[in-house]
Amino acid sequence: MEEKREEKKRSDELENVLKILIVLKKLNGWIWIREIARRVNLHHKTVSRILDKYFRPFIEEQRILPFRARLVRLKDNIDEEKFIAYWKIKKLQEIYEKRFK
């Protein structure tokens, strides 16, 4: 009998999503994942996982082989409101308005 594993969601995950979004928006250019991690004070694997989970439709990516390094940037004309509207996450909007506006 197989049990369906529920994906765990950390309580601060949505806040971390917004921190990453703000770093990407302020920079407006290419940035290493490790540099994003340094700026938002998260582990680089956490940043990578969040980018893969939430940002896939919103970012452009370059991979540097054989080093497995990734450069990312926001696509043109992406802002916080479009990102929040896409995900339709009310909690995300509340956190954004309370912490970043």
pLDDT of the chain along its 101 residues, tens only?
Answer: 444 444 556 668 888 998 999 999 898 789 999 999 999 999 999 999 999 999 988 899 998 888 888 999 998 888 778 887 777 666 677 777 877 76
What are φ and ψ of residue 31, in 5° steps? -150, 145
Per-residue pLDDT, 89: 66
Q: Is residue 8 part of a domain?
A: no
Amino acid 6: pLDDT? 47
Return the CATH number at 36: 1.10.10.10
Tell me the residue type at 55.
F
Q: How many domains does the chain have?
A: 1
> What's the N-to-C CA distance of the chain in angstroms?
49
Give me the pLDDT at residue 1, please. Answer: 44
Does residue 101 belong to any structural domain of this protein?
A: no
Which residue range(s) make up the domain with 49?
Answer: 13-95
